[in-house]
Structure 1
Amino acid sequence: MQNSLNPAAALVMDFGGSGAKGIGLRIESGIGKPFLICLNPEVEPVTKASIDAYMSGTLGATEPENSCWIAIGKQYYAIGALARERFHAEVDLHPLKWEDAIRKTLAAVWVLSERLGLGNEFDISIAALLPPGEYKNDRERFESKLKESLANFVTPSGNFKVNLVFFDCKPESGGIYLYRRRVLKDAIKQSVIAVAMIGHRNASILFSNKGAVGEGVTSNFGCNKLVEIFVRETSGTETHSTDKIIRAIVEAGAEVKGQPFMALARSCSAAGKKEDVKQMVKATRLAREEYFQMLTRWLDKKLPSERNELIFCGGTAHLFKQELSERYSLDTVLWDADVELPPTLDSVGLGSRLADVYAMYRTFRERLSSRLGVTAAD
């Protein structure tokens, strides 16, 4: 283990329900160019024998994101695409367990090492965005267990010994808020701001009253509720993965086009498929209306009655961008706090779903620059 921070790496993680998103970079004479790490959301406990069989049968090469597994002690886990495709894991939209966030972070650290050629022993600085409940109750345990796990874990490249030298943690939407705070500067001390993050797993609101950030509130009114209503109103769709249903609903858009639902149709005949799609279009329209009413009832109860800005972010918020903009037309509404993503960073077309982690990266980068006395690259 080297004693200095040079060379070293930094990683910023967002554990959203649609997948873990990370921004990684090398630190040498300055802070290097950022790059994106995307992991599918699945985490699946597996046996060492299963991993050995996978490793011995692997032919050719693939991107490290598609072949992630890690071991902590004697417990092995397949992460992301490997968990989904080889071990048939499914997306879990229940509240994130902080232990799974640690496993995903270790996997991302391995991908980072593979991308940058860092080897198996190096120093790292990490920032993470946690759901409000986990941030409130588990962030200290998360940091402690993360540091312990990084010091000794196993990957496809062997045993890793990574030293966590600097850690920061914020609640989901914290990156968006910190970005807005930098824009407003002292004016934030005269403003009441609410940041509503509506994602796959949950919906949460972060409050800032004249610069003082409150505890925030969270609910289970994420995209999972929309899926529950859709499945309730259709026949046989419960056999499809949540991820597949969400993808069809998103592609259908606010006008609810029928074509994306062809992938979910059960019937073999053309006429039968047409009826299946018709049922799913009807169910989606009902689900969107029912879910939107449910979501906005909760928002109206929790949002401060007097506010200067209302910021929406998260993939599910963007799915209802038109409806939310109309509903809160009397507010000063910002989307993602006007965060602008560098086109070179968004290599897989995630768009607004990267806003929070990128905004957090910008804040973390500035802190690292100051702490290390180096210049940050854009």
Structure 2
Amino acid sequence: FCLKARNLSSSPKADKNPEMLKLPQSSIDAYMSSRKGLESPKPADEAWVSNPADNDTQCTVVGFLARQFSASARLDKLKYETSIHKALAVIGAIAQHNKLPNRFSLSLTSLLPYGEYQNRQAFEQQLQSALKDFRFRGQRLRVKLERFECLPEGAGLAMIRQRQNGKEWFNAQTIAVLMFGHRNTSLLLFERGKMTAGYTNGLGFHQMVKRVIERTSGQDATALTSAIYAAGSDITTDNQAIRTLVKSREPKNLNYELQMIVNAIATAKAEYWSRLYDWLESTLPAVNEVILSGGAALYLEQELQDCFQEISTYWGADLQQQVQEVFKDKSNDYYRTFREQEALSFRLIDAFGLFMRFRAQIEKVA
């Protein structure tokens, strides 16, 4: 997002929670009444949006607040459909954080998985309509979408490589951008300076988590995702992140359950990588360079390094450092470990690369 006359660095902290849920407004009213007298959370941590056409009877809670209502990430829905309310929440949070007036103009750039890229016009039209009149945490906002751009996930990183090495270098290469996400995995192919092909499959990190849930007892997808990622390649009974997943408090059952979880994670990871490798082998053509991104790529770093040891790879470490510097003073209290900090900054580099280009275009026009 690029607010007119504002800088992204003045925006509120990034929210890592993808959950959302439609609720009756009375649920929010009850929630607000129950916390009277307590410290008020930041807008980004207590986000809900509504449409005046609903006569204040319905609203959609997003992110951290949605998690309090046990909402899901809705991976079954198209990403652009769930992104409408998330975009409204982000824009509303930025507006309240920066004390913007109720009316302002907005320039926006966004990414969609290649498999949903054909929905970009519908995304723009529906977002433009929703922005004209909505409420964020009860405040009515009327926003004009002045400029909009939508590109497939991975495009931001391709643009960064072109900027780093020049157009002549970029036009002489065959480059693949691989995006390993929670929802799916995408591949963009660039030849002679142009995007010539794109592919998306349903092999997101959630598939591995799903397999672990099927082979264990009473596990929650959110907690399991965090623990699996925190454990990394250390899938052992001694790993503290894995030990926190144990539900039993009976000594005679604890070790049994712990071993069950370890076995389930190890097997699911092997299966997940096997399916990804098979897809890569059948889909990826001969290339000069592979650009790797997405949270699951960091989790599978060793497997991917081994897979592409004969091909030049770019992980965006330099760009990741820039992201960490930009958000250093904004988001540090969101990170509990260095691995979490590394993971979030790595997930942001594609969007950050696109934002840098978009901001340069806006400033040139201005």
Q: TM-score, normalised by structure 2?
A: 0.88
Q: In 2 relative to 1, CA 356–370 (structure 1 residues): closer, same or farther, beyond 3 Å?
A: same
Asked if the contact 1:151/1:162 (under 8 Å) is kept, the reply is yes
**2-side partners of 1:251 and 1:289: how far apart?**
17
Whether 1:76 aligns to 2:64 is: no
Among 264, 271, 277, which residue is 2:245 paired with? 264
Alignment of 1:83-232 (within 5 A): 83-85=66-68, 87-136=69-118, 138-185=119-166, 186-232=168-214
Q: Which amino acid aligns with 2:123?
A: F
8 Å CA contact 1:198, 1:313 repeated in 2: yes
Q: Using the alignment, how far apart are the partners of 2:287 and 2:264 within structure 1?
A: 35
Aligned to 1:325: 305
Equivalent-residue separation in structure 2 for 1:204 and 1:90 (angstroms): 23
For residues 296 and 231 of structure 1, do their structure 2 counterparts lie closer, same or farther at Cα, with a shift above 3 Å needed? same
Which residue does 2:337 correspond to in 1? none
Corresponding residue of 2:338: none
Could you list the per-position Cα deviations for residues 1-46 of structure 1 after superposition, in whole angstroms to 9, with x for gaps in the alignment? xxxxxxxxxx1xxxxxxxxxxxx66616xx5745443251111011
What is the alpha-carbon distance in structure 2 between the residues aligned to residue 205 and residue 337 of structure 1?
A: 20
Secondary structure (helix, strand or coil) at the match of 2:182 reads coil
SS of 2:129's partner is helix
Q: Report SS of the residue matched to 1:40.
A: coil
Name the amino acid aligned to 1:50. S
* Match in the other structure for 2:25: 48
SS in 2 for 1:169: strand
Kindly state the Cα deviation for residue 345 of structure 1 after the two structures are TM-superposed: 1.2
Contact 1:205 1:216 in 2 (8 A): yes
In structure 2, C-alpha distance between the alignment counterparts of 1:240 and 1:233, rounded to whole Å: 10
Deviation, 1:371, is: 1.5
Deviations 1:57-100 (A, max 9, x none): 44331011111000123141011111110x22123333534221
Query: How big is each residue's C-alpha offset from its partner over 1:333-365, in whole Å with a ceiling of 9 and x where there is no partner?
Result: 111374232424152322211111111111111
Unaligned runs of 5+ in 1: 1-10, 12-23, 373-378
Question: 1:228 and 1:99 mapped to 2: Cα distance?
Answer: 23
SS in 2 for 1:88: coil
Partner of 2:271: 290
Question: Which secondary structure state, in structure 2, belongs to the residue aligned with residue 27 of structure 1?
Answer: coil
Deviation at 1:229, TM superposition (A): 2.2
Q: Secondary structure at the match of 1:124?
A: strand
Contact 2:155–2:350, Cα closer than 8 Å, also in 1: yes
| 2:192 alignment partner AA | K
Contact 2:15 2:45 in 1 (8 A): no
Alpha-carbon separation, structure 2, partners of 1:337 and 1:192: 21
Return the offset for 1:270: 3.0
1:191-225 superposed Cα distances (whole Å, 9 cap, x missing partner) = 10000000111000011011110241000111011
Structure number with the bigger relative contact order (C-alpha 8 A, sep ≥ 6) is 1
Aligned to 2:231: 252
1:315 corresponds to which residue?
295
Equivalent in the alignment of 1:353 = 347
Output the CA distance in 2 between the equivalents of 1:101 and 1:297: 31
Assess if the C-alpha contact under 8 Å between 1:91 and 1:243 holds in 2: no
**Residue 365, structure 1, aligned to residue 343, structure 2:** no
Q: Greater helix share, 1 or 2?
A: 2
Verify: 1:302 aligned to 2:283, yes or no: yes
Evaluate the alpha carbon distance shift between residue 213 and residue 34 of structure 1 in structure 2; reply closer, same or farther with a 3 A threshold. farther
On the 8 A contact 2:183/2:206 being kept in 1, the answer is: yes
Question: Alpha-carbon deviations, 1:83-126, whole Å to 9, x = none?
Answer: 110x2212333353422101000000011011111022111111
Secondary structure at the counterpart of residue 114 of structure 1? helix
Alignment of 1:27 with 2:5, yes or no, is yes
Q: Distance in 1 between matches of 2:33 and 2:199?
A: 47
CA contact (8 A) 1:197 1:314 kept: yes
The TM-score normalised by the length of structure 1 is 0.85
Amino acid at match of 1:332: S
1: CA distance between counterparts of 2:295 and 2:109?
A: 21
User: Are the aligned partners of 1:39 and 1:65 in contact in 2 as well (CA < 8 Å)?
Assistant: no
Secondary structure at the aligned position of 1:90 is classed as coil
Kept after mapping to 2: 8 A contact 1:26/1:32 = no
Partner-residue secondary structure (3-state), 1:178: helix
Instruction: Summarize deviations over 1:139-186 as a string: whole Å, max 9, x none.
Output: 101101111110100121421101111111111112111111212222
Structure 2 residue matching 1:213: 3-state secondary structure: strand
**Percent identity of the aligned residues?**
31
Q: Say if 2:22 is the partner of 1:38.
A: no
User: Which shows bigger deviation, 49-58 or 144-153?
Assistant: 49-58
Match of 1:7 in 2: none
Aligned alpha-carbon RMSD (Å): 1.9
